[in-house]
Chains A and B, each alone.
Chain A
């Protein structure tokens, strides 16, 4: 196991890069945990806004409207109700909505030419549109009952009864089934992909390049160590290195977020996802190593790949903020599918969790893994052939 042992001796010399990016990672996680405490709650409660109703009709219908809106919003009575005062109150946010029920509204309600309710809303407050929707739905319901033969009083009573008994809606989403108290854990897995891309390309590539140096490689080729054994030992070194790195980061996650979170169903799905992505990072690293990159050029290429993939695939910028064009390109990158899984598992992107989709996305990553590894094998063969020509 001479090659394997030396692999790790050389790896020790490149630990500096690992520590630097681990530090960057921890800082990123810390910043995310304090700046983006994103709520995963699915609860909904309607917002109450301040409404003023100017009732010029003083009818049963106008009173029912007043009662209906009063049950859902805060009714504000103003001392002055002239146009200027109303505009001032809207401007200074004393009220958000003014409804005027014109005289004769009830009398014309069921005729062919009903009177229109007039309203004033703050243009920068969307809640006014919500009140309009409620009001339309209320009046449509009364109108429907009246058309069906109900008296106005009965129609109002029936509508009030119906709307009071609003059905209970419960949205069952995956994230609500597990303890989602610690969203930082998901950021941990999200940013792990960027950090792994950087760590592997900056620490593993130099090790492989060292073994591939023309003269060192020639000297090893001249030796009594069979080529298969050498390749196997190097491969084993890469696998052990990647598993060890993944384990360290996963154990650190357990330490930070507790075994309950990390080994929850969501946590396990993220762990498997990150393991598959780790192997993709190794494949990318192997491919990079065939180009014999050193120091500056390696730094440049690693940053292009790491940061480029992070921005395109939604590691740094959420996928739902990215344009369709960018996402179309990102689909050809493995990190896109990695992040898609995290978004689905957490419900951040709104995509419902589905195990079938989970395996589909893992499968996509595996296809990338096989594809990159195949390209590496071809490139490596070409490199060896070129050195033997």
Chain B
């Protein structure tokens, strides 16, 4: 069993009457990419700020690598890398100067720092932009610089707070590949996002939070099993009678059927070969059909079913 990298117990953070984080419990294991998924304003960044001692909190305990994190625990802080939600760099410094500065807050040895800065630059693919000032960089490149500044000192725990917001697809892929690569090199990663596809793509475990509460936690598969809906079948068909709809509704694992504008939608919970069962029925009745589509539930479906609202609301 892997050691615990981050342990959050009963964390409560209030802003006056508003409860931003409500008795949150999380455990992140060493070596994993842990996703914190939730809509904007759900408490992700507040949780991270508490985790980094940037914010005081009202109740709870936070431990990182078995030690309590405090504003003055600099030894522990030296093992953490942070990539803020907003780009946090100096406009007056070039790409390499920025990385060198932030790396220098952790690494005093100049030679070692120089090596780390070079590695960080090549890791995020900014080799051709060393002498560029941040204002001259595109949004995607700026995000990469932001990441380089946070990871240059090779921390054991990297916290990435929505690092792909407003980033072009090419840069986004580069960033996601980089995150997986960092994890392969041994870093534990806490990744927050409201983009479920990203979280699904890179995270080994995910916590879904809303209104500061931890609603569900597990792997993608585990989360999907939590909800009733496991398959959505969509078929284009000219006509169907009420009897047909009733018959389809009685097929195994089907729990909801609708027919609207020549489109049949069948929702199934669990089971296998649901699509074959539906198609068999239509063939028996000699119905001709066109477009057939079957999709598994997404994290958005999980979120929708758990919270009753869309993730991007």
Contacts and interface: CB of A to CB of B under 8 A. Distances in A.
Interface string A129-152: 000000000000000000000000
Given A224-B74, A225-B105, A389-B15, A219 B92 contact: no
Contact of B105 (A2, A13, A388): A2
B87 A222 contact: no
Contacts of B41: none
Interface in A193-226: 210, 213-216, 218-226
Interface in B87-106: 87-93, 97, 101-102, 104-106
Interface centre among A215, A221, A222 (most CB of B within 10 A): A222
A223 B92 contact: no
B38 interface: no
A210 B105 contact: no
A216 B90 contact: yes
B52 A224 contact: no
B190 interface: no
Interface string B99-129: 0011011100000000000000000000000
A114 B94 CA distance: 96
B137 interface: no
Contacts of A220: 105
A47 to B, nearest CB: 64
Nearest to B52: A222
A223 B54 contact: no
Contacts of B78: 223-224
A205 B150 CA distance: 26
Taking chain A's interface residues, is the majority helix, strand, or loop, or is none over half, making it mixed? helix
A108 interface: no
B284 interface: no
Nearest to B108: A2
B59 to A, nearest CB: 16
Interface in A220-279: 220-227
A388 B80 CA distance: 19
Interface residues of B, dominant DSSP: loop
Contacts of A219: 82, 84, 88, 102, 149-150
Interface residues of A, number: 22
A9 interface: yes
B91 A210 contact: yes
A219 B146 CA distance: 10
A40 interface: no
Contacts of B71: 221, 227
Contacts of A375: none
B105 A224 contact: yes
Nearest to A213: B88
A60 interface: no
B111 to A, nearest CB: 15
Given A219-B150, A224-B77, A6 B84 contact: no
A379 interface: no
Nearest to A220: B105
Contacts of A225: 74, 105-106
Interface string B41-62: 0000000010011111000000
B10 interface: no
The 7 closest A-B pairs by CB, nearest first: A215-B88, A224-B78, A223-B105, A2-B104, A13-B92, A219-B88, A10-B92
Interface of B: 15, 49, 52-56, 71-72, 74-75, 77-78, 80, 82, 84, 86-93, 97, 101-102, 104-106, 149-150
